[in-house]
Amino acid sequence: MTNPTLSAAGAGLAGTHLGTGLSIRHAVMELGDGDTRVRALDDVSLDVAPGEFLAIVGPSGSGKSSLLAIAGALASPDSGTVTVNGQDLSRLSQGKRAAFRLANIGFVFQSGNLIPALTAADQLRLVNRLAGGPKRFDPMALLDSVGMAHRAANRPGQLSGGERQRVGIARALVSGAKLLLVDEPTASLDRARSREVVELLARQSREHGVATVMVTHDHDVLGHCDRIVEMVDGRLGLPAPVS
Ligand SMILES: Nc1ncnc2c1ncn2[C@@H]1O[C@H](COP(=O)(O)OP(=O)(O)OP(=O)(O)O)[C@@H](O)[C@H]1O
């Protein structure tokens, strides 16, 4: 397991992987109107290499979700650039952006965000179909890689929180996404399950060459990350040392 490298945001592997992974340059984004206007992102630059597992920590309201939103093409910065796998997101039309997102970016949220009526296998099949994947797609290899093949026929209501997260991670990788954006994946899990889920994310990132960005308040799991950065007031900087 790689020890967390406490490095300045963007300094890590910047420049060594141009065109792949995630690259954010001087992103500024303001939210709200008038008196409530807030600079959610204040000149943020960040590089995440393929296979790298980065954690973002920071207080509530510091801009972590806003950063995930621009990295995932769910929002556009007012200025600055976001490049995923060599594609400058601002150059894509709305429609092309949605298609690009589906094919290139995987999302994992707090509770797995699975569709209640679908079995684990069908969750993956649905994403494959939406992403225009192969007609003869077999979800079993991916479910097996997250230790969930034996639960392929179960619906989310029949799975534990950790198992739901595992299916959510497999689903996020269906279309071969090279960028994985993960928001508080351990929020509803106990300590042991939290560690398992984050270990799985670390392994999947390495094995599939996926650039993974995880927002977390859970300091227990940071030891599994390659790099940790802290957000404060919309800016990225050096984190406090991890205990
Ligand atoms: N739709 C919005 N309109 C106005 N301000 C917003 C909006 N969404 C977020 N903000 C503000 O932008 C700033 C950054 O919010 P953001 O959700 O990115 O923070 P966060 O670090 O993810 O917080 P948390 O850890 O609580 O989820 C905060 O000051 C927040 O109040």
| ipTM field | 0.95
- The CA-based angle 199-204-205, given to 5 degrees, is 100
Question: In ligand 1, which atom is closest to the CA atom of 41?
Answer: 14
Compute the distance between CA of residue 2 and CA of residue 225 in angstroms, rounded to an integer. Answer: 7
**pLDDT < 50 regions, the chain:** 1-18
34 Cβ below 6 A of ligand 1: no
Burial bucket for residue 87 (CB in 10 Å: 0-12, 13-18, 19+):
middle
pLDDT at residue 16, rounded to an integer: 39
Cβ of 60 closer than 6 Å to ligand 1, yes or no, is yes
Q: Is 61 in the pocket of ligand 1 (CB under 6 A)?
A: yes
Give the C-alpha separation, 100 to 62, whole Å: 28
For ligand 1, the distance from its centroid to the CA atom of residue 3, given in whole angstroms, is 30
- Candidates 214, 178, 177, 217; CA nearest to 198 is 214
Q: What is the pLDDT of residue 241?
A: 55
Q: Please, which residues bridge with residue 106 across strands?
A: 180
pLDDT of residue 6: 37
Give the pLDDT of residue 238. Answer: 66
Distance 39 CA to ligand 1 centre (A): 9
CB 63 near ligand 1, within 6 Å:
yes
Is residue 31 within 6 Å of ligand 1 at its C-beta?
Answer: yes
pLDDT confidence of residue 196: 86
**Ligand 1 near 62 CB (within 6 A):** yes
DSSP class of residue 170 equals: H
Of the CA atoms within 13 Å of residue 197, those in its CB half-sphere come to 33
